[in-house]
């Protein structure tokens, strides 16, 4: 998973001194804890502060989702 999700953007993250990642997983990715992301030597949480958001569609109350704004 690390190879598909993090490795492609890793050079950009390092170049821009990014130290915090906010993940908004969708679908089946919601089932994978970020602590499980491992590059073969280190876990993702060893290199970055990681925050996980469930996304707006999951956090809105059902009564709000049915209204058009």
Q: What per-residue confidence (pLDDT) applies to 56?
A: 67
Check whether 4 has a pLDDT greater than 60.
Answer: yes
Cα–Cα distance measured from residue 58 to residue 32, given in angstroms and rounded to the nearest whole number? 17
| Mean predicted confidence (pLDDT) in 8-23 | 95
Predicted TM-score of the model (pTM): 0.69
Q: What is the mean pLDDT of the chain?
A: 83
Least confident of 1-5, 18-22, 29-33, 62-66: 62-66
Residue pair 36/64 in contact by the 8 Å Cβ criterion:
no
Cα–Cα distance measured from residue 67 to residue 9, given in angstroms and rounded to the nearest whole number? 37
């Amino acid at each position: 998973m690390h190879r598909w999700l993090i490795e492609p953007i890793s050079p950009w993250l390092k170049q821009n001194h990014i130290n915090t990642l906010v993940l908004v997983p969708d679908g089946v990715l919601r089932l994978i804890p970020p602590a499980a992301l491992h590059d073969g030597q280190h876990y993702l949480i060893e290199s970055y502060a990681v925050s996980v958001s469930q996304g707006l569609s999951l956090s809105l109350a059902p009564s709000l989702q049915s209204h058009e704004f």
